[in-house]
Structure 1
Amino acid sequence: MLLLDSRKRLVKTRRFSEEVYIGDPFNVVRILNEKEVDEICVLDINASVEERRSDLGFIAELASECFMPLSYGGGIKSVADAAPIFAAGVEKVVLGRASSDSVTVRALADSYGSQAVAACIDCRRVDNHWRVAFDRGRTLTNTDPVTQAIAVEQAGAGEIILQNIDRDGAQNGYDAGLVSSVSEAVTVPVVALGGAGDLSHLAEGLRMGASAVASGSAFVFIGRLRAVLITYPSSQDVNELFKKSGAAS
């Protein structure tokens, strides 16, 4: 999971703040190409907050550098917003706030297929209850992530990215209760995000019921001082990861 700031730099956050610069997006994509990464998801984390349109030239150039499927999110509110992004070479769009609008989700799914539409559900615990949040966690709703997940699946989303704001950048593992409850509530793939710091955490996420696991910190930081080092497990490590999780590779 790669995060773009307003200047199109790649950053990594903690609890959706404390941004740390990790590199130029094109250089990082080239490194990940060499490491044979399965898929990349790039999120413009400020697009919705700043009400910016997507930079189609930038997206097209980024897509041309990717040897793997590219998902893109940030400020997408409609089919009209998504159409040029797909035309630029992106295979899947990621919806944040717009995922709460069932009409928009359905229109995108009808136009491009459910497999091309992912809903990112950001959530945090408030008074011991999970609440869905938008706008980089600034806007809290009264909706819980299980209810939101069911709603986006019914609207036509083909994938759910479940993001735990409280564990973002913490590198201490996923929240088992959150991942399990949402994964059990829907039939579409759930991608766990927020908390992974090493391969053992990724295996745990799969055992919790997630269909897939994602991370930023596990692939860009090394050591307790969080030195920036772009890395990715080898095919052998990935196969071992699936064995440990009990999932099929």
Structure 2
Amino acid sequence: MTFFRPCIDLHQGQVKQIVGGSLNDQGADTNFVSQHDAGYYASLYRQHNLTGGHVIALGPGNQQEVLKALSSWPQGLQFGGGVNRENAAEYLQAGASHVIVTSWLFENDRFSWERLEQIKQETGADRLVLDLSCRRTDNGWNIATNRWQTVTGTAVDAGTLSELSEHCAEFLIHAADVEGLQGGIDQELVKLLGECCTVPVTYAGGARSLEDLKLVDRLSGGKVDLTIGSALDIFGGQGVTLQECIDWNASR
């Protein structure tokens, strides 16, 4: 069964919703900047028992907000953004249920199995989420690192998903090309994930309404969960309300 999963995206020390593909060292195209801090959203999700959500730090300057969120709901949120072997355990101790890692697993744009084993020693596979966020290529989708700006040679396909599923608790997959655009989900990617993933997986990118929860449920056979960001009313969106997502989860 497909569930709604919440998010808290942090950029330059503020809760924001951005256009994912625009993120670079100079900034990003921004859909929404919140007047509330990360702790407010974490407490809101805790109040409604919205589990399995993620806090993502998009670049530097977010540490204080990250810790606010994790302390507001200990063991209730996953954290990703600059996670590596040296700091993974610290975020778990600070209250993250899982840590999410992508870029650190790549050396010179090549996936490092050695690094994967190193971070597993710090977290255990049961508290490790692999972020396989990706961009479309001529042959399908490839993992994108460094705030989705570097497209690696590692494909998001049946082989990769099967192999990596043995080393983690979950996958988080942003479709970077449609992230923040509210133009609809990448239906082909969602279908692939439903067909190939044997561990829990959350898809993010392009969701714009409650109908997208229904669509992801149908396309993935209920195997893929969905994050909705910019379209959500608590982030200034007009496509769907948080209450509708709460009601959806309660009905599952």
- 1:168–1:235: structure 2 CA closer, same or farther, 3 Å change rule? closer
Report the counterpart of residue 3 of structure 2 in structure 1. Answer: none
- 1:12-51 mapped onto 2 (5 Å cutoff): 12-17=17-22, 18-19=29-30, 20-23=32-35, 24-47=37-60
Report the counterpart of residue 238 of structure 2 in structure 1. Answer: 223
- 1:218–1:113: structure 2 CA closer, same or farther, 3 Å change rule? farther
Is 161-170 or 105-114 further displaced after alignment?
A: 105-114
- 1:178–1:98: structure 2 CA closer, same or farther, 3 Å change rule? same
- 1:82-161 mapped onto 2 (5 Å cutoff): 82-99=88-105, 100-127=111-138, 129-146=140-157, 147-154=159-166, 156-161=167-172
Report the counterpart of residue 25 of structure 2 in structure 1. Answer: none
Report the counterpart of residue 64 of structure 1 in structure 2. Answer: 71
Q: CA deviation at 1:192?
A: 1.3
Structure with more of its chain in helix, by fraction:
1
Measured in 2, the distance between the counterparts of 1:84 and 1:168 equals 29
Q: CA deviation at 1:59?
A: 3.9
Q: CA deviation at 1:141?
A: 1.6
Measured in 2, the distance between the counterparts of 1:176 and 1:86 equals 33
Alignment TM-score, normalising by the size of structure 2? 0.78
Q: CA deviation at 1:234?
A: 5.9
Cα shift readout 1:99-133 (whole Å, capped 9, x = no counterpart):
43323333433543323111111212234632221
Q: CA RMSD in A?
A: 2.7
- 1:142–1:235: structure 2 CA closer, same or farther, 3 Å change rule? closer
1:176 counterpart = 2:187: yes
Measured in 1, the distance between the counterparts of 2:202 and 2:184 equals 14
Alignment TM-score, normalising by the size of structure 1? 0.79
- 1:110–1:171: structure 2 CA closer, same or farther, 3 Å change rule? same
Report the counterpart of residue 5 of structure 1 in structure 2. Answer: 11
8 Å Cα contact 1:28-1:230 kept in structure 2: no
Report the counterpart of residue 186 of structure 1 in structure 2. Answer: 197
Give, as a single letter, the amino acid of the residue that structure 1 aligns with 2:168: A
Give, as a single letter, the amino acid of the residue that structure 2 aligns with 1:70: L
8 Å Cα contact 2:141-2:155 kept in structure 1: yes
Task: Select the residue among 78, 84, 97 that pairs with 1:77.
Answer: 84
Question: What SS does the aligned partner of 2:133 have?
Answer: strand
How many residues were matched structurally? 228
- 1:185–1:33: structure 2 CA closer, same or farther, 3 Å change rule? closer
- 1:198–1:153: structure 2 CA closer, same or farther, 3 Å change rule? same
Measured in 1, the distance between the counterparts of 2:94 and 2:149 equals 30
Give, as a single letter, the amino acid of the residue that structure 1 aligns with 2:165: E
Measured in 2, the distance between the counterparts of 1:90 and 1:103 equals 24
8 Å Cα contact 2:38-2:68 kept in structure 1: no
Unmatched 5+ stretches in structure 2:
1-6, 23-28, 106-110
- 1:60–1:136: structure 2 CA closer, same or farther, 3 Å change rule? closer
Q: CA deviation at 1:169?
A: 1.4
Measured in 2, the distance between the counterparts of 1:218 and 1:119 equals 25
Give, as a single letter, the amino acid of the residue that structure 2 aligns with 1:12: Q
Task: Select the residue among 205, 213, 217 that pairs with 1:206.
Answer: 217
Question: What SS does the aligned partner of 1:179 have?
Answer: helix
Give, as a single letter, the amino acid of the residue that structure 2 aligns with 1:187: T
Q: What is the aligned-residue identity percentage?
A: 21
Q: CA deviation at 1:38?
A: 2.4
